[in-house]
């Protein structure tokens, strides 16, 4: 286990879906397309988060199946805010007051996640997510296929390239988050919304709430 007892972290990297917020964005969007699409997408998402199938293989398929319009994505941004983890906004504000750099990282849609970043006071420059494209009528037109965040190991690669001040704590709930363990001092499995066995078993620390996370980040837990 990699820990830093009594030493606060200089940088915190937070996943968004089912970590900072209580929903999976693509699943939320799929429910606007009816129960059959919603069921299909939810199953694919869960299998990818458990590491049973590669995100690389299903990322584009999920988006093409759902085909989110621009207003759907903005509504998702509001839904993220409504489901934000209890105490997260206050904790993040306190960390930043203590000089901790907070970075959001997600394979989700950047336009929606920027709503969350603004709400919690994280600079847009510290948001790492996937751009999607719309036509002039606001219809879905594709996504940034070059983004590493559409691939299984992408979060690790992005974090490694950010040159964050150490020690770095990364927190997430899924298999793509676990990959960050190779680029940070400590990886925490957040189980406040969902606990996935593989992620929990391989994490350095288990985190049940943002109150617990706050104690870890600032060195009091």
Query: By C-alpha distance, which of 155, 26, 179 is closest to 103?
Result: 155
Residue 1: C-alpha distances to residues 22, 36, 123 (Å): 27, 42, 31
Report residue 50 as tokens.
């458990």
Residue, of 172 and 219, whose pLDDT is higher: 172
Query: By C-alpha distance, which of 206, 187, 204, 186 is closest to 195?
Result: 206
Residue, of 75 and 3, whose pLDDT is higher: 75
Q: How confident is the model at residue 7 (pLDDT cuts 50, 70, 90)?
A: low
143 and 130 in contact (C-beta within 8 Å)?
yes
Residue 220: per-residue pLDDT = 65
- 3-state helix vs strand vs coil in the chain, percent to 5: 50, 20, 35
Query: With 60 as the cut, is the pLDDT of residue 3 above it?
Result: no
Query: With 50 as the cut, is the pLDDT of residue 2 above it?
Result: no
Residue 1: per-residue pLDDT = 37
What architecture is the 11-217 domain classified under in CATH?
Answer: 3-Layer(aba) Sandwich (3.40)
Enumerate residues 6+ apart whose C-beta is below 8 A from 211: 87, 91
Query: With 50 as the cut, is the pLDDT of residue 131 above it?
Result: yes
Residue, of 151 and 56, whose pLDDT is higher: 151
Cα dihedral sign, 127-129-133-134: negative
Residue 208: per-residue pLDDT = 98
Length of the chain counted residue by residue:
221
Query: With 50 as the cut, is the pLDDT of residue 4 above it?
Result: no
Sketch the domain layout of the chain as residue ranges: 11-217
Give the model confidence (pLDDT) of 22-35 as tens digits.
999 999 999 999 99
Report residue 48 as tokens.
């990818």
Strand ranges in 115-173 using DSSP code E only, listed in sequence order: 127-130, 132-134, 140-143, 168-172
In Å, the largest CA–CA distance within the chain is 53
- Output the average pLDDT for the chain: 93
132 and 142 in contact (C-beta within 8 Å)?
yes
Give the model confidence (pLDDT) of 180-194 as tens digits.
999 999 999 999 999
Q: How far is the C-alpha of 93 from the C-alpha of 101, rounded, in Å?
A: 11
Give the model confidence (pLDDT) of 136-149 as tens digits.
999 999 999 999 99
């Amino acid at each position: 286990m990699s820990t830093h007892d009594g030493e606060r972290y200089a940088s915190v990297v937070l996943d968004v879906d089912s970590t900072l917020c209580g929903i999976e964005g693509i699943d939320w969007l799929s429910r606007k397309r009816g129960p059959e699409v919603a069921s299909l997408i939810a199953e694919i998402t869960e299998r990818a988060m458990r590491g049973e199938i590669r995100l690389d293989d299903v990322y584009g398929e999920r988006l093409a199946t759902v085909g989110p319009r621009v207003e759907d994505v903005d509504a998702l941004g509001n839904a993220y805010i409504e489901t934000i983890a209890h105490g997260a906004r206050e904790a993040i504000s306190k960390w930043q007051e203590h000089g901790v750099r907070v970075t959001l990282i997600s394979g989700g849609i950047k336009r929606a996640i920027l709503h969350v970043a603004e709400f919690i006071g994280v600079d847009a420059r510290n948001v790492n997510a996937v751009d999607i494209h719309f036509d002039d009528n606001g219809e879905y037109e594709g996504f940034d296929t070059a983004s590493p965040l559409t691939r299984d190991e992408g979060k690790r690669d992005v974090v490694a390239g950010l040159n964050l001040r150490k020690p770095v704590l990364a927190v997430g709930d899924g298999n793509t988050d676990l990959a960050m363990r190779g680029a940070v001092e400590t990886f925490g499995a957040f189980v406040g919304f969902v606990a996935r066995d593989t992620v929990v078993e391989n994490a350095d620390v288990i985190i049940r709430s943002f109150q617990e996370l706050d104690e870890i980040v600032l060195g009091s837990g």
